[in-house]
Structure 1
């Protein structure tokens, strides 16, 4: 295929391939499919991608076909493989210009480079990385940005290689480039923070922050995958150390930028979240490197998630990351000493354990527990609105296991972890909360209902650890059954939570003699005049009761027909697949 004579032909076909008319689209796709194995086809695509005068949709289509061609035909042993000469021309073309004005096209070109780099770099493409460094050092802001964007994608691709030889090469490269990238990140970040304080215009702030975020992403890959032991590299340790200060400063910047434009505001949040992701990645991949940062991490997360002064700076995704960091430190296997501490093999394990226990003193644990239950566990107005508007999704959302990404599952997960690790300290506090709420709340007292719901939620989550502390039989008979009888609309919150509580405790500590009373309560909550979210929770509780090891079919027989019919009606009324599947399990 001669690129000079065929550029226009391919361009016309690509234009037709981007049409919404199937009569025009399908023949064009067929023709492009014929050409994808022709010599010179990808050179023509590269020319079209690089031509800024061509319509963006056509260039986008050319990028997609180029990406597919790399996946199919770049390997030497692939059928109809691209020739070595054409490969060399394509590689030169891709890194000859870093002034692409369209962000989407620039991103896709960076992905193209990274796909080839994973296969060819460094042996068959030694000029790639020096060329990218030159682009990054360019005084033109756009060229520098595109160079960083491309380097980020290349680093991401190279860091994913797992063969020993590839990892060794990546570690050598990381050692050579780390200080350079760290210096860039420091400069971009400091410039952004300084300019926020000076109220510089939003466009300049955005450019600086985009570059700071790109260099931060590069540093994350280099830190996690570029060093066997990051704590042996002083630059790595300096970088991790400064993250805590940057999180604090960036949170203050976010507060100032609230009214400076949505994109800049969201970009600042993304930058903050990525800082926390680096801490989580180091904790997960290099736990012994992280030992020196356990104390500052706990100080940071406890301050921002559990103190009135810190909470005013935070946003939901950041709080989730705080909870994930706390949970990660508590559950890290490398931080657990032997039962006889002196027999622990690694002294770093003992040191990590001492730092944890030294920080998490009883008064600190008590404050965390109280804040979780009294602040985070309280259903928000948004959640109540969702319950009103879409009860099925509300019930399903709360039933999910997405503790890494959703606030409620993350807070509940960290509560369970803390309670299990520090049962002796936290059990008396939760018992006191039960005593404080162990009275009938007026149906008109919504705040009181929500407080009780939060405490009941905590008791349900800590059921296994509260086995010896709670006389569940008496609580069930004297309080919970009575609360289920109140049919006021506000009390649906309590009815749903009591149903969940019963389900949690059924297999733990509920007498066999009380199982019929349990079946009566749960089946009454399945009636069609009950709230949908309550019914769904009741069906889950019934399933737990039936799955219990001590389940007695004779005790359940009088309730079988009623439960069967009510579950069948619930299944018919449910609209969401996420609802129907668990219902089939109950059914």
Structure 2
């Protein structure tokens, strides 16, 4: 761990201090640091470091989400200079995706929120590998922590998708979600509920689209519906 990283950890720790003056000084220092190159990447590394205390990691993930919103895309309202350099963006994405299997659910959720915040700006055009990676995670029954993280990301993504994105993702996504929902012996209730919420989000958008694209949405959904109808019936019984 280099000196800059240790300084950031000390600052994050101080920002949780009950002493008002210590906390204020730390928060001001972090605000100044956010204007320096490498700050976002340093936050990502702290959030992903499983040897650090839970509170510091969670705070780093929350600050990273705020940093992304302010500095990731200069075309967005509320953007503040400097913009995150391209090479740092790539590194931050890689660190966050590798951390979606974190055993702490709150850390995992915070990281998922950071991923979805980036996705709002970059997916699908500048981050085409995101959804295939998430699908690979939810297909791995041996790593349920990763399934939780991926589903959390997909739930956030699906609530923000437009009529151009949904048709591209549904054919690959729905069979994966069906496997989870129909396998209570493998996946717990929370994972199955999260899967159903994603199905609901996507289906709602397709319902809106059907007013204009009835033939297309019918052709998309019809091959997928039969097993889902049987599963819904089974759950309701």
Distance 1:14 1:140 in 2: 30
Of 26, 34, 37, which residue of structure 2 is paired with 1:28? 26
CA contact (8 A) 2:115 2:153 kept: yes
Distance 1:245 1:176 in 2: 23
Aligned to 2:190: 210
Distance 1:134 1:178 in 2: 13
Q: Does 1:187 align with 2:189?
A: no
Residue 131 of structure 1 and its aligned partner are, at CA, apart by: 1.2
Aligned to 1:223: 203
CA contact (8 A) 2:99 2:111 kept: no
Aligned to 2:120: 118
Aligned to 1:13: 11
Equivalent residue of 1:168, what SS? Answer: coil
- 1:413-440 deviations in Å (ceiling 9; x for gaps): xxxxxxxxxxxxxxxxxxxxxxxxxxxx
Which 4+ stretches in 1 moved above 6 angstroms? none
CA contact (8 A) 2:71 2:82 kept: yes
- 1:207-243 deviations in Å (ceiling 9; x for gaps): 5212211211111112111463355522246535642
**Tell me, which stretches of 5 or more residues in structure 1 are unaligned?**
162-166, 193-206, 249-587
Equivalent residue of 2:165, what SS? Answer: helix
CA contact (8 A) 2:41 2:88 kept: yes
Aligned to 1:551: none
Distance 1:74 1:125 in 2: 13
Distance 1:5 1:76 in 2: 30
Q: Does 1:156 align with 2:159?
A: yes
Of 164, 172, 178, which residue of structure 2 is paired with 1:176? 172
Distance 1:231 1:171 in 2: 11
Aligned to 1:90: 92
Equivalent residue of 1:112, what SS? Answer: helix
Equivalent residue of 2:29, what SS? Answer: helix
Aligned to 2:130: 128
- 1:479-500 deviations in Å (ceiling 9; x for gaps): xxxxxxxxxxxxxxxxxxxxxx
Q: Does 1:57 align with 2:21?
A: no
Distance 1:111 1:240 in 2: 31
Give the TM-score normalised by structure 2: 0.85
Equivalent residue of 1:176, what SS? Answer: helix
Report the CA distance shift for 1:95/1:119 in structure 2 as closer, same or farther (over 3 A).
same
- 1:93-126 deviations in Å (ceiling 9; x for gaps): 1112332111111111111111111110111111
CA contact (8 A) 1:171 1:225 kept: no
Matches within 5 A, 1:179-328: 179-188=175-184, 191=185, 208-226=188-206, 228-229=209-210, 232=219, 233-234=221-222, 235-236=224-225, 238-240=227-229, 242-248=231-237
- 1:165-200 deviations in Å (ceiling 9; x for gaps): xx2232222233223322332223xx37xxxxxxxx
Report the CA distance shift for 1:179/1:226 in structure 2 as closer, same or farther (over 3 A).
farther
Equivalent residue of 2:98, what SS? Answer: coil
Query: Considering only aligned residues, what root-mean-square deviation do their CA atoms show, in Å?
Result: 2.1
**Tell me, which stretches of 5 or more residues in structure 2 are unaligned?**
211-216
CA contact (8 A) 1:48 1:59 kept: yes
Equivalent residue of 1:101, what SS? Answer: coil
